[in-house]
Chains A and B, each alone.
Chain A
Amino acid sequence: EVQLVESGGGLVQPGGSLRLSCVGSGISVSKIWMHWVRQVPGRGLVWVSRINKDGSRRDHADSVKGRFSISRDDARNTLYLQMNSLKAEDAAMYYCVRDFVGPEDLWGRGTLVTVSS
């Protein structure tokens, strides 16, 4: 089955760090735009970050700029989101998205991040 599988979520204290991973199964996450989108359960969608086809461009939402960093390991077919200096407002379900808003748009099932002391 073609799918994206996120992992790495969990409970972390404010100020802590987490690294989310997204592995492509039956599908490549390299040489294509990859994104992270988050959603507080019961609330709306929020775009977080993106990385371009060759990794030369990375964009982040203002709310996470300087704290989050998107990256990719083509050999491992894996997308990452390094999240530092976590705040309570970063708590959400984080989705990995391949070809966001493109004809081959594909979302993972998400990994839940909880920020609490």
Chain B
Amino acid sequence: QQQVKQSPQSLIVQKGGISIINCAYENTAFDYFPWYQQFPGKGPALLIAIRPDVSEKKEGRFTISFNKSAKQFSLHIMDSQPGDSATYFCAASMGSNGTALIFGKGTTLSVSS
């Protein structure tokens, strides 16, 4: 019940295309869903996050779509650029400070020019 399932494991997208990464969870107590971007040899960097009271959140080229009834959420990267090539992790937590982030297994995105 603590798992967060992420797909696909890897993704290749043409420059300018849309990258879509999906995550699913089981624990209905989760109420905070961040996405992290990680470059090789670096720590995860917070990209965007959503709470379940909204169905969509957009920040620049990055959008989270959230489906509470399906217990799924996804990251959309519009106009994908080679600089977006990285590993993306979805995560979930109970929301309040001090609680564990439960991470998905990650998606390695390659944007070809």
- A and B physically associate: no
Write the residues of chain B forming the contact surface with A, with a CB cutoff of 8 angstroms.
none
